């Protein structure tokens, strides 16, 4: 199973051109992708609904979009009729396998004097992989403030840790199967997805491996044993594949001094041992970020 994260900067590449076909070519070989900075009707341009366009370009994939910013763009015509429309940008899951359930959690964001500051969310999904379902989380944390990222990081750790205890979108331990077919729920028991333990968390975290936010997610680093990812924390796929935390750039920037490794694929401990390899695609030029990939052993390779 090939997993990827990519901040696509609404398809604007290093050449300054918006090219969603180039995005689709870049990530088309991956089985499961989390994208950030995907737009729907945000600006006037061809294929302004980027979710629709990427779905057209990858017609054999399942998709789910979660806006982090959602504002009104409705219009009232001369006859008084309203054309309802939203301007949105946020996160997109593209999956070879069904997205069994999904939820979106807003993360705290506070105004900062003299700077623009936008909302962040955590997108949770359950992927129906034939080798076993697992949770798949995508996020894009605050770009501006370490303090706000620390607050967001603590919250998402709690959300992810508590999800299996909460269960799937509809729960009812001990309830007869006949109850699930009742009019109000209209779901058969086998149609209700559970909330499995294994999880992948990926995205643009806007944090370096040397940051305190990263330590919250992956555990403290010590001289004897390296990172100590206790239960409920995560292992970095690049690190699991043998890459040093001090190596790799996912946000090249224009100035080498500003280049950073801020995009990550993180795994719960029950998935970390399944990493075959992981890498940063340094040649990709479809955005101002570089995509990160991780190949995992997880059952059958396809749903066929």
Number of domains within the chain? 1
Q: Is 246 contained in some domain?
A: yes
Q: Is 98 contained in some domain?
A: yes
Q: Is 242 contained in some domain?
A: yes
Residues of the chain with confidence (pLDDT) below 70: 253-257, 300-304
pLDDT of residue 254: 67
pLDDT of residue 303: 39
Q: Is 13 contained in some domain?
A: yes
d(CA 74, CA 72): 6
pLDDT of residue 300: 59
Q: Is 182 contained in some domain?
A: no
Q: Is 303 contained in some domain?
A: no
Write the pLDDT tens digit of every residue in 241-262: 999 999 999 999 666 667 899 9
Ordered alpha helix ranges (H), 167-230: 177-180, 212-218
Q: What is the CATH number of the domain that holds 241?
A: 3.60.10.10
pLDDT of residue 256: 64
- What predicted TM-score, i.e. pTM, was given to this entire model? 0.94
Q: Helices H, strands E: what count in the chain?
A: 7, 16
Q: Is 34 contained in some domain?
A: yes
Q: Is 175 contained in some domain?
A: no
Residues 6+ apart with CB under 8 A from 136: 32, 34, 93, 95, 124, 125, 126, 127, 199, 200
Domain of residue 138: give its range: 2-168+189-296
């Amino acid at each position: 199973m090939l997993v990827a994260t990519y901040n696509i900067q609404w398809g604007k590449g290093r050449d300054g051109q918006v090219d969603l076909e180039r995005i689709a070519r870049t990530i088309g070989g991956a089985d499961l992708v989390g994208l950030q900075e995907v737009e729907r009707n945000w600006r006037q341009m061809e294929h302004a609904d980027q979710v629709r366009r990427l779905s057209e370009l990858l017609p054999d994939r399942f998709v789910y979009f979660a806006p982090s910013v959602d504002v009104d763009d409705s219009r009232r015509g001369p006859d008084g009729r309203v054309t309802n429309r939203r301007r949105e940008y946020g996160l997109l899951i593209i999956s070879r396998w069904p997205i069994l359930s999904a939820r979106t959690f807003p993360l705290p964001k506070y105004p900062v004097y003299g700077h623009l500051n936008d909302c962040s969310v955590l997108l949770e999904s359950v992927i129906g992989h034939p080798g076993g379902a697992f949770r798949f989380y995508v996020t894009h944390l605050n770009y501006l403030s370490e303090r706000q990222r620390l607050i967001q990081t603590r919250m998402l750790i709690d959300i992810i840790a508590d999800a299996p205890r909460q269960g799937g979108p509809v729960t009812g331990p001990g309830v007869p199967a006949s109850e699930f077919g009742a009019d109000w729920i209209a779901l058969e028991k086998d149609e209700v997805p559970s909330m499995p333990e294994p999880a992948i968390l990926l995205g643009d975290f806007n944090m370096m491996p040397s940051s305190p936010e990263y330590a919250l997610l992956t555990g403290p680093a010590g001289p004897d044993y390296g990172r100590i990812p206790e239960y409920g924390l995560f292992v970095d796929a690049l690190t699991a594949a043998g890459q040093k935390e001090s190596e790799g750039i996912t946000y090249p920037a224009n100035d080498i001094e500003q280049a950073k490794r801020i995009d990550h694929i993180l795994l719960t401990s029950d998935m970390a041992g399944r990493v075959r390899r992981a890498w940063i695609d340094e040649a990709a030029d479809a955005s101002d970020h570089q995509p990160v990939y991780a190949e995992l052993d997880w059952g059958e390779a396809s749903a066929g």
